[in-house]
Structure 1
Amino acid sequence: MQALIVYESMYGNTREVAEAIAEGIREARPDAAVECQPVARTTVHRTGTVDLLVVGGPTHVHGMSNALSRRVAVSVEARKEGRIEETHEAATTAAGPGLRKWFHELPDAEPGTPAAAFDTRMDGKQAGGAAAGIAQRLTDHRYDLRAEPEGFFVEEADGPLRSGELARARAWGAALL
Protein backbone atom coordinates (compact mmCIF):
# COMPACT_ATOMS: atom_id res chain seq x y z
CA MET A 1 0.00 0.00 0.00
CA GLN A 2 1.37 3.39 -1.03
CA ALA A 3 -0.01 6.60 0.44
CA LEU A 4 0.93 10.14 -0.52
CA ILE A 5 0.11 13.13 1.65
CA VAL A 6 0.45 16.45 -0.18
CA TYR A 7 0.18 19.61 1.87
CA GLU A 8 0.60 23.35 1.73
CA SER A 9 1.80 24.96 4.96
CA MET A 10 2.60 28.55 5.80
CA TYR A 11 3.39 28.46 9.52
CA GLY A 12 4.12 24.76 10.04
CA ASN A 13 0.74 23.79 11.49
CA THR A 14 -0.56 22.07 8.36
CA ARG A 15 2.79 20.31 7.94
CA GLU A 16 2.54 19.01 11.52
CA VAL A 17 -0.99 17.72 10.85
CA ALA A 18 0.13 16.07 7.60
CA GLU A 19 2.99 14.34 9.42
CA ALA A 20 0.60 13.16 12.15
CA ILE A 21 -1.77 11.75 9.51
CA ALA A 22 1.21 9.90 8.00
CA GLU A 23 2.03 8.48 11.44
CA GLY A 24 -1.57 7.30 11.83
CA ILE A 25 -1.47 5.53 8.47
CA ARG A 26 1.84 3.87 9.39
CA GLU A 27 0.44 2.76 12.76
CA ALA A 28 -2.62 1.23 11.09
CA ARG A 29 -0.62 -0.34 8.26
CA PRO A 30 3.03 -0.89 9.25
CA ASP A 31 3.72 -2.28 5.77
CA ALA A 32 2.49 0.92 4.07
CA ALA A 33 4.90 3.16 2.20
CA VAL A 34 3.82 6.65 3.23
CA GLU A 35 5.27 9.86 1.79
CA CYS A 36 4.47 13.27 3.20
CA GLN A 37 5.46 16.07 0.79
CA PRO A 38 4.90 19.81 0.48
CA VAL A 39 2.97 20.73 -2.65
CA ALA A 40 5.95 22.70 -4.00
CA ARG A 41 8.00 19.47 -4.16
CA THR A 42 5.30 17.11 -5.41
CA THR A 43 4.72 16.57 -9.09
CA VAL A 44 1.16 15.74 -10.08
CA HIS A 45 2.43 12.70 -11.98
CA ARG A 46 3.50 11.13 -8.67
CA THR A 47 -0.19 10.75 -7.76
CA GLY A 48 -0.75 8.08 -10.41
CA THR A 49 1.30 5.53 -8.49
CA VAL A 50 -0.41 5.73 -5.08
CA ASP A 51 -3.23 3.78 -3.47
CA LEU A 52 -4.33 6.70 -1.27
CA LEU A 53 -3.94 10.43 -1.84
CA VAL A 54 -4.44 12.81 1.09
CA VAL A 55 -4.34 16.56 0.41
CA GLY A 56 -4.41 19.39 2.92
CA GLY A 57 -3.82 23.09 3.28
CA PRO A 58 -4.37 26.06 5.52
CA THR A 59 -7.57 28.06 5.52
CA HIS A 60 -7.11 31.58 4.16
CA VAL A 61 -10.03 33.98 3.84
CA HIS A 62 -12.61 31.21 4.50
CA GLY A 63 -11.21 28.79 1.89
CA MET A 64 -8.11 27.58 0.06
CA SER A 65 -5.11 29.87 -0.09
CA ASN A 66 -4.24 31.84 -3.20
CA ALA A 67 -1.17 33.78 -4.30
CA LEU A 68 -2.30 36.98 -2.56
CA SER A 69 -3.23 35.31 0.73
CA ARG A 70 0.13 33.53 0.78
CA ARG A 71 2.00 36.81 0.25
CA VAL A 72 0.01 38.40 3.08
CA ALA A 73 0.87 35.46 5.34
CA VAL A 74 4.57 35.96 4.61
CA SER A 75 4.41 39.66 5.44
CA VAL A 76 2.59 38.92 8.71
CA GLU A 77 5.12 36.26 9.67
CA ALA A 78 8.07 38.46 8.72
CA ARG A 79 6.95 41.06 11.26
CA LYS A 80 7.26 38.60 14.14
CA GLU A 81 10.52 38.32 15.96
CA GLY A 82 12.29 35.03 16.60
CA ARG A 83 10.24 32.97 14.15
CA ILE A 84 12.94 32.33 11.55
CA GLU A 85 11.88 28.75 10.72
CA GLU A 86 8.20 29.68 10.29
CA THR A 87 9.12 32.76 8.21
CA HIS A 88 11.27 30.60 5.93
CA GLU A 89 8.47 28.02 5.53
CA ALA A 90 5.94 30.77 4.76
CA ALA A 91 8.24 32.39 2.20
CA THR A 92 9.02 29.05 0.53
CA THR A 93 5.33 28.15 0.35
CA ALA A 94 4.34 31.57 -0.97
CA ALA A 95 6.90 31.30 -3.75
CA GLY A 96 5.63 27.86 -4.79
CA PRO A 97 2.65 26.89 -6.91
CA GLY A 98 0.14 26.34 -4.09
CA LEU A 99 -2.64 23.78 -4.10
CA ARG A 100 -4.87 25.65 -6.55
CA LYS A 101 -2.26 25.55 -9.33
CA TRP A 102 -1.32 21.99 -8.42
CA PHE A 103 -4.94 20.91 -8.83
CA HIS A 104 -5.11 22.56 -12.27
CA GLU A 105 -2.34 20.21 -13.40
CA LEU A 106 -3.58 17.10 -11.57
CA PRO A 107 -4.62 14.35 -14.00
CA ASP A 108 -7.84 12.46 -13.43
CA ALA A 109 -7.54 9.38 -11.27
CA GLU A 110 -8.65 5.89 -12.14
CA PRO A 111 -12.22 5.50 -10.85
CA GLY A 112 -12.25 4.20 -7.30
CA THR A 113 -8.91 5.72 -6.30
CA PRO A 114 -9.31 6.75 -2.65
CA ALA A 115 -8.48 10.21 -1.38
CA ALA A 116 -9.11 12.48 1.57
CA ALA A 117 -8.99 16.21 2.28
CA PHE A 118 -8.06 18.19 5.39
CA ASP A 119 -7.24 21.71 6.45
CA THR A 120 -6.07 23.76 9.39
CA ARG A 121 -8.42 26.50 10.54
CA MET A 122 -9.54 28.74 13.33
CA ASP A 123 -12.58 27.63 15.31
CA GLY A 124 -15.84 29.51 14.84
CA LYS A 125 -18.75 29.82 12.46
CA GLN A 126 -17.15 32.65 10.50
CA ALA A 127 -13.75 30.95 10.11
CA GLY A 128 -14.58 28.84 7.06
CA GLY A 129 -12.37 26.03 5.88
CA ALA A 130 -10.27 24.90 2.93
CA ALA A 131 -11.04 21.17 3.21
CA ALA A 132 -14.35 21.36 1.34
CA GLY A 133 -12.68 23.06 -1.64
CA ILE A 134 -9.86 20.54 -1.60
CA ALA A 135 -12.38 17.68 -1.47
CA GLN A 136 -14.35 19.15 -4.36
CA ARG A 137 -11.23 19.37 -6.50
CA LEU A 138 -10.35 15.77 -5.66
CA THR A 139 -13.80 14.57 -6.73
CA ASP A 140 -13.57 16.74 -9.86
CA HIS A 141 -10.50 14.64 -10.71
CA ARG A 142 -12.47 11.42 -10.15
CA TYR A 143 -11.03 10.53 -6.74
CA ASP A 144 -13.37 8.80 -4.29
CA LEU A 145 -13.38 10.45 -0.89
CA ARG A 146 -12.58 7.95 1.85
CA ALA A 147 -13.83 10.33 4.59
CA GLU A 148 -15.62 13.60 5.04
CA PRO A 149 -13.27 16.59 4.70
CA GLU A 150 -11.68 17.28 8.09
CA GLY A 151 -10.56 20.47 9.77
CA PHE A 152 -7.89 20.65 12.46
CA PHE A 153 -7.95 23.67 14.72
CA VAL A 154 -5.31 26.28 15.45
CA GLU A 155 -5.49 28.70 18.38
CA GLU A 156 -4.55 31.76 16.30
CA ALA A 157 -4.17 32.31 12.56
CA ASP A 158 -0.49 31.35 12.73
CA GLY A 159 -0.92 28.65 15.37
CA PRO A 160 -0.16 26.85 17.49
CA LEU A 161 -2.37 23.84 16.95
CA ARG A 162 -5.03 23.34 19.58
CA SER A 163 -4.12 20.77 22.20
CA GLY A 164 -5.06 17.26 21.08
CA GLU A 165 -5.21 18.03 17.35
CA LEU A 166 -2.13 15.99 16.44
CA ALA A 167 -3.57 12.94 18.21
CA ARG A 168 -6.84 13.53 16.39
CA ALA A 169 -4.94 13.78 13.08
CA ARG A 170 -3.16 10.46 13.76
CA ALA A 171 -6.50 8.79 14.50
CA TRP A 172 -8.06 10.30 11.36
CA GLY A 173 -5.13 9.06 9.26
CA ALA A 174 -5.49 5.54 10.66
CA ALA A 175 -9.24 5.60 10.00
CA LEU A 176 -8.65 6.36 6.29
CA LEU A 177 -7.56 2.76 5.84
Structure 2
Amino acid sequence: MKALVVYESMFGNTQQIAQAVAAGLGKHVEVEVTEVGLAPDEISAELDLLVVGAPTHAFGMSRASTRADAVKQAPGGTIVSTGRGVREWLEAVHPGGVGTMVAAFDTRVRAPLPGSAAHKVAKALQRLSFPEVSDPETFWVKDSTGPLKDGELERAERWGADLGLLVNSR
Protein backbone atom coordinates (compact mmCIF):
# COMPACT_ATOMS: atom_id res chain seq x y z
CA MET A 1 0.00 0.00 0.00
CA LYS A 2 1.26 3.47 -0.93
CA ALA A 3 0.28 6.91 0.32
CA LEU A 4 1.24 10.44 -0.70
CA VAL A 5 0.81 13.46 1.57
CA VAL A 6 0.74 16.77 -0.33
CA TYR A 7 0.78 19.99 1.66
CA GLU A 8 0.89 23.74 1.30
CA SER A 9 2.33 25.69 4.22
CA MET A 10 3.07 29.31 4.87
CA PHE A 11 4.61 29.43 8.35
CA GLY A 12 5.51 25.75 8.78
CA ASN A 13 2.47 24.68 10.79
CA THR A 14 0.76 22.75 7.99
CA GLN A 15 4.12 21.25 7.04
CA GLN A 16 4.56 19.95 10.60
CA ILE A 17 1.06 18.45 10.56
CA ALA A 18 1.73 16.81 7.18
CA GLN A 19 4.90 15.21 8.55
CA ALA A 20 3.05 13.99 11.66
CA VAL A 21 0.25 12.53 9.50
CA ALA A 22 2.89 10.78 7.41
CA ALA A 23 4.54 9.39 10.55
CA GLY A 24 1.22 7.85 11.55
CA LEU A 25 0.54 6.54 8.05
CA GLY A 26 4.04 5.07 7.94
CA LYS A 27 3.06 2.60 10.64
CA HIS A 28 0.74 0.90 8.14
CA VAL A 29 1.66 1.93 4.57
CA GLU A 30 4.60 3.18 2.53
CA VAL A 31 4.34 6.98 2.55
CA GLU A 32 5.91 9.98 0.85
CA VAL A 33 5.46 13.64 1.83
CA THR A 34 5.81 16.47 -0.66
CA GLU A 35 5.30 20.22 -0.73
CA VAL A 36 2.61 21.16 -3.25
CA GLY A 37 5.04 22.96 -5.56
CA LEU A 38 6.84 19.64 -6.06
CA ALA A 39 3.71 17.46 -6.20
CA PRO A 40 3.00 15.49 -9.37
CA ASP A 41 0.12 16.62 -11.56
CA GLU A 42 -0.59 13.01 -12.51
CA ILE A 43 -1.74 10.82 -9.63
CA SER A 44 -0.41 7.33 -10.21
CA ALA A 45 -2.90 4.48 -10.35
CA GLU A 46 -0.51 2.67 -7.99
CA LEU A 47 -1.27 5.19 -5.24
CA ASP A 48 -3.73 3.87 -2.66
CA LEU A 49 -4.17 7.05 -0.60
CA LEU A 50 -3.71 10.75 -1.30
CA VAL A 51 -3.81 13.10 1.70
CA VAL A 52 -3.93 16.82 0.94
CA GLY A 53 -3.41 19.57 3.51
CA ALA A 54 -3.53 23.35 3.39
CA PRO A 55 -3.80 26.34 5.68
CA THR A 56 -7.18 28.08 5.81
CA HIS A 57 -6.96 31.55 4.27
CA ALA A 58 -9.95 33.89 3.95
CA PHE A 59 -12.50 31.13 4.67
CA GLY A 60 -10.99 28.53 2.31
CA MET A 61 -7.94 27.62 0.25
CA SER A 62 -5.22 30.19 -0.28
CA ARG A 63 -5.03 32.38 -3.37
CA ALA A 64 -2.13 34.37 -4.76
CA SER A 65 -3.33 37.45 -2.85
CA THR A 66 -3.60 35.65 0.51
CA ARG A 67 -0.18 34.07 0.00
CA ALA A 68 1.24 37.55 -0.65
CA ASP A 69 -0.33 38.69 2.64
CA ALA A 70 1.28 35.70 4.38
CA VAL A 71 4.71 36.78 3.14
CA LYS A 72 4.14 40.17 4.79
CA GLN A 73 3.28 38.44 8.10
CA ALA A 74 6.13 35.92 7.99
CA PRO A 75 9.25 36.49 10.07
CA GLY A 76 11.82 37.74 7.59
CA GLY A 77 9.25 37.47 4.79
CA THR A 78 10.03 33.77 4.35
CA ILE A 79 7.31 31.17 3.82
CA VAL A 80 7.48 27.44 3.14
CA SER A 81 5.33 27.19 -0.02
CA THR A 82 6.59 29.83 -2.42
CA GLY A 83 5.04 28.63 -5.68
CA ARG A 84 1.60 27.37 -6.54
CA GLY A 85 -0.84 26.54 -3.81
CA VAL A 86 -3.16 23.58 -3.32
CA ARG A 87 -5.96 25.44 -5.16
CA GLU A 88 -3.86 25.71 -8.34
CA TRP A 89 -2.52 22.18 -7.99
CA LEU A 90 -6.04 20.76 -7.73
CA GLU A 91 -6.94 22.59 -10.94
CA ALA A 92 -4.01 20.89 -12.70
CA VAL A 93 -4.11 17.41 -11.16
CA HIS A 94 -5.27 14.37 -13.13
CA PRO A 95 -6.33 11.08 -11.54
CA GLY A 96 -4.18 8.31 -12.98
CA GLY A 97 -6.77 5.65 -12.33
CA VAL A 98 -9.72 4.74 -10.22
CA GLY A 99 -9.53 3.73 -6.62
CA THR A 100 -7.06 6.16 -5.10
CA MET A 101 -8.73 7.14 -1.84
CA VAL A 102 -8.36 10.65 -0.46
CA ALA A 103 -8.44 12.60 2.78
CA ALA A 104 -8.05 16.32 3.43
CA PHE A 105 -6.86 18.39 6.37
CA ASP A 106 -6.25 22.01 7.18
CA THR A 107 -4.72 24.20 9.82
CA ARG A 108 -6.57 27.20 11.14
CA VAL A 109 -7.14 29.49 14.07
CA ARG A 110 -10.09 28.64 16.30
CA ALA A 111 -12.30 31.68 15.77
CA PRO A 112 -15.97 32.40 15.27
CA LEU A 113 -15.31 32.82 11.56
CA PRO A 114 -16.61 30.21 9.11
CA GLY A 115 -14.56 28.46 6.48
CA SER A 116 -12.20 25.55 6.12
CA ALA A 117 -9.58 24.81 3.51
CA ALA A 118 -10.01 21.09 4.24
CA HIS A 119 -13.68 21.16 3.25
CA LYS A 120 -12.84 23.01 0.02
CA VAL A 121 -10.03 20.56 -0.76
CA ALA A 122 -12.34 17.60 -0.11
CA LYS A 123 -14.97 19.01 -2.49
CA ALA A 124 -12.36 19.57 -5.20
CA LEU A 125 -11.10 16.00 -4.80
CA GLN A 126 -14.66 14.68 -5.00
CA ARG A 127 -15.17 16.60 -8.27
CA LEU A 128 -12.13 14.71 -9.56
CA SER A 129 -13.94 11.44 -8.64
CA PHE A 130 -11.59 10.41 -5.86
CA PRO A 131 -13.39 8.38 -3.14
CA GLU A 132 -13.11 9.90 0.33
CA VAL A 133 -11.76 7.64 3.08
CA SER A 134 -12.31 10.15 5.90
CA ASP A 135 -14.11 13.37 6.67
CA PRO A 136 -11.93 16.49 6.43
CA GLU A 137 -9.89 17.15 9.57
CA THR A 138 -8.81 20.45 11.14
CA PHE A 139 -5.70 21.01 13.22
CA TRP A 140 -5.54 24.15 15.33
CA VAL A 141 -2.94 26.91 15.56
CA LYS A 142 -2.75 29.46 18.36
CA ASP A 143 -2.41 32.46 16.04
CA SER A 144 -2.38 33.01 12.29
CA THR A 145 1.38 32.45 12.12
CA GLY A 146 1.35 29.69 14.74
CA PRO A 147 2.51 27.86 16.66
CA LEU A 148 0.32 24.77 16.69
CA LYS A 149 -1.85 24.28 19.74
CA ASP A 150 -0.55 21.76 22.26
CA GLY A 151 -1.27 18.16 21.33
CA GLU A 152 -2.00 18.79 17.64
CA LEU A 153 1.08 16.97 16.33
CA GLU A 154 0.17 13.89 18.37
CA ARG A 155 -3.44 14.11 17.18
CA ALA A 156 -2.23 14.39 13.56
CA GLU A 157 -0.07 11.30 13.96
CA ARG A 158 -3.02 9.35 15.40
CA TRP A 159 -5.23 10.53 12.51
CA GLY A 160 -2.56 9.39 10.04
CA ALA A 161 -2.36 5.98 11.72
CA ASP A 162 -6.17 5.68 11.58
CA LEU A 163 -6.10 6.53 7.86
CA GLY A 164 -3.46 3.86 7.31
CA LEU A 165 -5.65 1.27 9.02
CA LEU A 166 -8.67 2.32 6.93
CA VAL A 167 -6.73 2.01 3.69
CA ASN A 168 -5.40 -1.41 4.66
CA SER A 169 -8.90 -2.66 5.49
CA ARG A 170 -10.29 -1.89 2.00
TM-score (norm 1): 0.87
Q: What's 2:11 paired with?
A: 11
Q: Does residue 55 of structure 2 align to residue 58 of structure 1?
A: yes
Write out aligned runs for 1:87-98 (5 A): 87-88=77-78, 90=79, 93-94=81-82, 96-98=83-85
**1:101 counterpart residue number:** 88
Structure with greater helix percent = 1
Equivalences for residues 1-177 of structure 1 within 5 A = 1-27=1-27, 29=28, 32-77=29-74, 80=75, 84=76, 87-88=77-78, 90=79, 93-94=81-82, 96-108=83-95, 110-177=97-164
* RMSD (CA atoms): 1.5
* C-alpha contact 1:4 1:47 (8 A) present in aligned 2: no
Q: Pick closer, same or farther for the CA change 1:44–1:149 going to 2, 3 Å.
A: same
C-alpha deviations, 1:97-152, integer Å up to 9, x for none? 11111111111353332110000001123152100000001111111111100000
Change (3 A) 1:13 1:47: farther
Letter in 2 for 1:13: N
Report if aligned partners of 2:51, 2:103 keep a CA contact under 8 Å in 1. Answer: yes
> Secondary structure of the residue that 1:49 maps to in structure 2?
coil
- Structure 1 CA distance for aligned equivalents of residues 116 and 68 of structure 2: 19
Q: What is the distance in 1 between the residues matched to 2:13 and 2:52?
A: 14
CA contact (8 A) 2:36 2:86 kept: yes
What is the percentage of aligned positions where both structures have the same residue? Answer: 41
1:27-68: CA deviation from partner (whole Å, max 9, x where unpaired): 2x1xx3211100001121254431110000000011100000
Per-residue CA deviations over 1:51-95 (Å, capped at 9, x if unaligned) read: 110000000011100000000100111xx4xxx5xx43x1x524x
Gaps of 5+ in 1: none
